[in-house]
Structure 1
C-alpha cells in the first residue's frame, strides 16, 4: 500500500491525462466492424464497460485532486524529469482541479446516457470521447503555452469526429465550417506563440509571467501583441462575439450527447482567457488593453445571445444562443479584474456548463416526443409525456434565466456584488438585469409554443395523423430523463452548498492572481536564489542538452537544478561532466559572482 501511495504521489497529476489516453488507444485497438452493425457487434459491451470504468476512475481521480488542491498546495509534475522552464510541466492548482471535476462530473452521466443507443450510430464514438477528455484534462493541467496548443489540437481533432457522429448532410456542412474556423484559430495560435517566444524566450507560463515586466519596450510590445492574438484565439474557442457566430448552428446539428458534452468546450476558451490573458499578461499595458475590450465584448455577447434566442426557430439553436449569452456574462466577470468578480465568474461557469448540457439533453427528449415536428417551433400535438417534459423545461428555464433561488441567480448576484468598485457598475447591472428579463420572455415564448398551444392529438384511427402520433414513443429515450434529473439534482446541491463552494472559488481566484506563488512552485533557483532561466533573452546563452562527451560547458553547475538526483548519479552522465559540475560548484563557493550564466562557445 505504501508503494502505491508513493507511486500516486510521485506521478500526480498526470493520471488525469493518462487514464483517457490509454482508454482511447485501447478502444481503437479493440477495433470496429467494417460494414456490420455496432449494435450487434460482440465488442460493443466491452467498449461500454471500458468507457464506464475509465470515466468513473477519472472522476474519482479528479475528486482526489480537488481535495489535494483545496489546501492551497500547487503540485507540479516535470515530464521526462526536465524542470521548468526547460521542460514541460503539469500544474495542479485549485482552478485546474475544479475544471477536472467539472469535466468528469459532466462526462460520466453523458457517457452513461450515450451508451444505450447513441454510440451505435458511428464507429469509434467511445475512443473519440476519451481522446476529447484527454485533450480537456491536458489543457487544464498544462503549465506550458505550447503544450496548451497541443492539447487544444487533441480535443479539437476528437471533436471533429464527434460532431460528424451519426452522419447527415447538415452535420457534414457545418462540420466543414467548424473545422475551417478552428484551423484558422490554430494558425493564429502558433503565430501568437511565435511572437511571445521570440520576445520572451520562454513559453512556460510562470516564466513568461515573471519575464514580461523585465523586457525591453520593443520586446514588451511584441509579447503583448502575441498575448492579444492568443486572446482572439481563445475568444473563438469560447464563442464570444464577433468570432462566436458559429456556435448555435454547429451545436444544433450535433447528436444529443455530443452537444451536451460540447458545453464544456466553450469553457476551455474561458479558462484560457482567465489563465493566460488574466494572470500571465497582468502588466498595466496588456491588462489595460484587455479591460477596454473585454467588458464591451461581454456586454454585447450577452445581449446578442438572448436576442438571438428570442428569434430562434428551433429549440437546439435556442439553447446555443442562451449558452452564447452566458458566455457574455462570464466575460463581464473576468473583465472586472478583481478577486470577487473572478470567484463569482467561476461559480457561474460551473452552473452554466451543467445547465446547458441538461438543456441539450432535454432537446433530445422533446424531439422524440414531437415526431416529425422535431424541435421546430411549430404548433404540434401534445406530447405523450407533456407533464414530465413541461415541468423539466420549467425548472431548466428558472435555472438558466437566473431566477431565485437557483445557482444561476446566485452566480449573477455574486457578479453584481463584485461591481461595487467598477466605474461601469450601472451599465453592468442594467445589462445583466435586462438579459435576465429577456431570458424570461424567451423561455415564455418557447413554453407557449411547445406546451400551452399544443393541439389535441388526433383521435380518428383511420387518419395518417393518428398513426403518426401512435408511432411516437410513450416514454423518453432510455436514460435520457434520468440523466437530466441527475444533472439538475447536482445543480440543486450546488445551490444548497453555495457558501462553502463560493469560499473555494474565492481562494481559487486569489491563488491564480498570485504569480509569485506559481513562480516559487514551478521554477527553480540557484545558490544565489536567482531563478534559473535563460532570460533576459540572449541567443548566446544556450544550455548544453547532451551530457556525454568532453565539451567544455561553463554552465555545468546548473545541471543539478534541472534533472533529478537519480538521473545525475546515473550511468548516462559522464565522469568528465561530473568533474565539471563539482569544479564549478567549488568555484561558486569561493566566488559567488561566478554563478552567473555564461555564453557557450560557438
Structure 2
C-alpha cells in the first residue's frame, strides 16, 4: 500500500503543474470547466499545505526532527533533486495557498475572462511559489523563480490599458536582470564549491579559503543582490509600486507574497551559511541597513501619494523593510515575531488590493475604467460568448457599510493599531526589540528598529486617514457599487483570518517561535537532508 503522506511534499508542485497543463488543452468555450479545475487544484494545494504544516509540527511522528525530505528520482543528496519541508516552508506554503484560493475566487467574478489562459498562468504561478519554498538546492530555486516570474509576466499584463502594459514591461525588464544576476551567482558558487545543494553548500562553504573563498563571497554578493531586487528592497524597488498598482485586483493580491520569496531565500540561505561565517551579502549588518532604508522609503511613499492602489503598494515595501530590519538583528529573539508580522501583512495587503478595486467603483473615474475594460472584451454585449448574465453582480446589503468597515479594518492592520493581528504582530515585534535592547551591550539597532516601525505606522495612519476621508466623506459624486459575493467573500475571509490570528496569537506565535529556533540551529536541516536515504536502499515502495 502506498503511504500517501510520504509523498506529501511534492503535492504542492505536482497538483498545479497538472492542473495548469490540463487547462491549456481546453478551449475558451469550456470556461466553467477550466474554472472548476483551477478551484479544485487550489483547494487541494491548501489541503496539502495544512497537512505539511501539521507534519512539520510533529503530527504522527513521521518527521521526528520537524524536517521532511523528499528525494525526487530517489537519488540521495547532494546528487539528486531534494525537496525539504520544515516549519518555515510549511508556513509559507499555507500562506500561499490561502492567498491563492482567495484571489482565485475573486477573479471568478470577471477578471479571469479579461484575457487568455488566466487559470493556467495562475496555477503555474502557484507552482513556482510552492517550489521556491520547498526546493533544497540553488539551481532549482532559480528554476522555480523563473516559473513563477514567467507566469507573473502574463498575469501582470492581464487585462487592458496603456498604463498596465507600460508598468508590466518595466516589471519584466527588472526581473529579467535580477534573474540574470541570479544565474551568474549560481554559476560562480557551483564553480567554487562543486555543489548547489543548500545543505551540502553549508558544509563546504566553511572549508573554503584563499581565492576560492573570495570567489564564493563574490557569488554570494551577487546572489544577495538578486534576492533583494525580488524582495522589493531599496534602492532596487522602483518597479514595485507602479507594477503592483497597475495589475488587476486578484493578480496584485497574489503578488503580495512574491516579495516575501526573496526574503525567504535570504533567511533560508543566510541561516545555513551563518555558522560558516556568512558572506558579507548575507551578514546581518547589511540586511539591517537595507531594511531600514526600505522602511523609510516606504513611509515617505505613503505620505507622498494619494492614490489608494499605490498606498497599498507602498505598504508592501514597508512590510519588506520591516522584515529585513527585524531579521537583520542578531539572535533568534525577533525572528518569531517577524514571521508573525509576515503572515499578517501578506493577508492584509492581499485583502487590501482586492478591496481597492471595489472601493474605486464608488468613484466616477474607477467606474469609467471598468466600463472601458468590459467594452474592450465585449462583456457588456448580450450576444457576446464571454458575457455572463450576472457579470455586473447583485447588490449586497449595505455595500457602502461593508466597504467602509473593510477599509477601516485594512487600515488598522497595516498601521498596527488594535485590536487586530497587525497590532499583535507589531506589539510582539517591538516588545522583542525592547527586550533585545535591554539585553544587548549595543542597543542602538533595536531602538532604531522601534523608531522606524513607529514612524512608518504614523505615516500609515496619516495616509489612510486622509484617503478614507476623501473616499467616504469628501466625495459628493460617490455612487453605491454593486458587489458580488465572489468579490466581497474573499476580502471578508482574509480579514477574518487576521481576526483569528489575533485571537489565536498564542498558539500561532509558539509555532513560529519554534520555526525561528530551528533556523537558529541549521544542523537539523543539514542532517535531515544529507542523511535521507533512497527508499530503494531500504526496501521501500
| Contact persistence 2:415–2:457 (CA under 8 A) | yes
Q: String of CA shifts for 1:556-595, please: whole Å, max 9, x gaps.
A: xxxxx77833899xxxxxxxxxxxxxxxxxxxxxxxxxxx
- Unpaired runs of at least 5, structure 2: 59-64, 370-397
Return the match for 1:234 from 209, 214, 227: 227
Q: String of CA shifts for 1:211-267, please: whole Å, max 9, x gaps.
A: 111112321222122122111111111101011111111011111111111101111
| Contact persistence 1:100–1:137 (CA under 8 A) | yes
2:26 is the counterpart of 1:30: yes
Q: String of CA shifts for 1:379-412, please: whole Å, max 9, x gaps.
A: xxxxx94333222211111111001222112212
| Contact persistence 1:303–1:431 (CA under 8 A) | yes
Q: Per the alignment, in what secondary structure is the counterpart of residue 179 of structure 1?
A: helix
Return the match for 1:442 from 452, 463, 473: 463
Larger Cα-atom Rg:
1
Q: String of CA shifts for 1:126-166, please: whole Å, max 9, x gaps.
A: 00000001001100000001000000000000000001111
Question: Partner of 1:454 in structure 2?
Answer: 475
| Contact persistence 1:231–1:277 (CA under 8 A) | no
Question: Partner of 1:246 in structure 2?
Answer: 239
Question: Partner of 1:565 in structure 2?
Answer: 537
Q: CA deviation at 1:425?
A: 2.0
Cα distance in 2 for residues equivalent to 1:88 and 1:27: 27
Cα distance in 1 for residues equivalent to 2:44 and 2:251: 21
Question: Partner of 1:394 in structure 2?
Answer: 408
Q: What is the 5 A alignment of 1:143-292?
A: 143-284=136-277, 286=279, 290-292=283-285
Q: 1:268 to 1:285 in 2, by over 3 A?
A: closer
| Contact persistence 2:362–2:480 (CA under 8 A) | yes
Cα distance in 2 for residues equivalent to 1:146 and 1:288: 19
Q: 1:502 to 1:375 in 2, by over 3 A?
A: farther
Q: 1:44 to 1:473 in 2, by over 3 A?
A: farther
Q: What is the 5 A alignment of 1:323-472?
A: 323-372=316-365, 385-419=399-433, 420=436, 421=440, 422-455=443-476, 457=477
Q: 1:413 to 1:217 in 2, by over 3 A?
A: farther
| Contact persistence 2:77–2:530 (CA under 8 A) | yes
Question: Partner of 1:464 in structure 2?
Answer: none
Cα distance in 1 for residues equivalent to 2:481 and 2:471: 17
2:305 is the counterpart of 1:312: yes
2:290 is the counterpart of 1:297: yes
Q: Per the alignment, in what secondary structure is the counterpart of residue 339 of structure 1?
A: coil
Cα distance in 2 for residues equivalent to 1:510 and 1:375: 52
| Contact persistence 1:240–1:324 (CA under 8 A) | yes
| Contact persistence 1:306–1:442 (CA under 8 A) | no
Cα distance in 1 for residues equivalent to 2:145 and 2:151: 10
Question: Partner of 1:531 in structure 2?
Answer: none
Deviates more, 1:20-29 or 1:339-348: 339-348
Cα distance in 1 for residues equivalent to 2:368 and 2:329: 38
Question: Partner of 1:484 in structure 2?
Answer: 491
Q: 1:374 to 1:506 in 2, by over 3 A?
A: same
Question: Partner of 1:380 in structure 2?
Answer: none
Q: String of CA shifts for 1:31-88, please: whole Å, max 9, x gaps.
A: 33xxxxxxxx2x0110111111111111111111111011242111111111100111
Aligned-residue Cα RMSD (Å) equals 2.2
2:60 is the counterpart of 1:69: no
Cα distance in 2 for residues equivalent to 1:228 and 1:477: 48
Q: 1:138 to 1:319 in 2, by over 3 A?
A: same
| Contact persistence 1:128–1:158 (CA under 8 A) | yes
Q: CA deviation at 1:276?
A: 1.3
Cα distance in 2 for residues equivalent to 1:299 and 1:110: 30
| Contact persistence 1:248–1:320 (CA under 8 A) | yes
Q: String of CA shifts for 1:331-361, please: whole Å, max 9, x gaps.
A: 1111013222111111100111010011111
Q: String of CA shifts for 1:354-377, please: whole Å, max 9, x gaps.
A: 10011111111111221225699x
Cα distance in 2 for residues equivalent to 1:496 and 1:225: 46
Question: Partner of 1:51 in structure 2?
Answer: 38
Q: Per the alignment, in what secondary structure is the counterpart of residue 361 of structure 2?
A: helix
Q: Per the alignment, in what secondary structure is the counterpart of residue 91 of structure 1?
A: strand
Structure ranking higher on relative contact order (CA contacts 8 Å, 6+ apart): 2
Where does structure 1 differ by over 4 angstroms across 4 or more consecutive aligned residues? 373-376
2:509 is the counterpart of 1:515: no
Taking structure 2 as the reference length, what is the TM-score of the superposition? 0.88
- Unpaired runs of at least 5, structure 1: 33-40, 377-383, 458-468, 526-560, 569-602
2:113 is the counterpart of 1:120: yes
Cα distance in 1 for residues equivalent to 2:538 and 2:454: 60
Q: 1:374 to 1:217 in 2, by over 3 A?
A: farther
Q: 1:326 to 1:197 in 2, by over 3 A?
A: same
| Contact persistence 1:91–1:143 (CA under 8 A) | yes
Cα distance in 2 for residues equivalent to 1:352 and 1:123: 31
Question: Partner of 1:15 in structure 2?
Answer: 11
Cα distance in 1 for residues equivalent to 2:407 and 2:537: 60
Cα distance in 2 for residues equivalent to 1:326 and 1:282: 27
Q: CA deviation at 1:418?
A: 2.8
Taking structure 1 as the reference length, what is the TM-score of the superposition? 0.79
Q: 1:415 to 1:155 in 2, by over 3 A?
A: same
